[in-house]
Amino acid sequence: MMEPNTRPRRFQLLVFDWDGTVADSTAPIVHAVQAAYHDLGLLPPTENAARYIIGLELGKAFTTLSPEQPERMITGLLERYRYHYLLGDAEIPLFDGMRALLEKLDRQHYLLGVATGKSRKGLDRVLRQKNLMKRFHATRCADESFSKPHPEMLLHLMERLGVAPEQTLMIGDTTHDILMAKNARVPALAVSYGAHDKDILRQNQPLDIVDSVAALDTWLAMHG
């Protein structure tokens, strides 16, 4: 049954980043990045540096971390990263309350999308694992578009679902998400429980910053 809505709706389409926004995957990603460097005998990046590149297409992520490395070394890092990440991929949970929130938003007839730095294969795998394949109306991945912060992922989702930028909200945990939204002329809401801390998120001027899934639920009820 549709939940009552007593006010005009500002947004029709809610686009979620995945890692660090829907799924609690920041720590596993950081571990896999650092382990990849260890495997190849390279000095691993700091935790903060590894957290910064979360959300970027993987190739761009590693070239951002190590611009001095030749292509063959970047390829090796990608291979080792995937090995370590996939060891624990199936155990990565959704953030507490996220499944219930997605179900609620679906009942309220929002259009739901995903714009992620994951590959199509990776996103489809986790959507199947979490039984969420039918929850989202459209999804877009980094191997199908330019990497964040380029606006192409959002532009594609809006075109596919027939929603204007001002009726779309990007929800993400990184500056890459906020800047992608700005480049697409889409409002952005930041969450501070993922990869990037509140100070750096604030510098990029999202509509607001929320600190938990419960706070995200409340914000959407008040402003969505």
Reported as a single tens digit per residue, the pLDDT across 38-97 is: 999 999 999 999 999 999 999 999 999 999 999 999 999 999 999 999 999 999 999 999
Q: Which of these is catalytic: 19, 173, 177, 217?
A: 19
- Active-site annotation holds for 96: no
Q: H-type helices in the chain, by residue range?
A: 26-39, 47-52, 58-65, 71-88, 98-107, 120-129, 152-161, 175-183, 198-203, 213-223
- Active-site annotation holds for 199: no
Interval 16-40: pLDDT, tens? 999 999 999 999 999 999 999 999 9
- In whole angstroms, give the CA distance from residue 4 to residue 108: 8
Paired tokens of 18 = 């995945």
Q: Which of these is catalytic: 17, 173, 177, 217?
A: 17
Q: pTM of the prediction?
A: 0.93
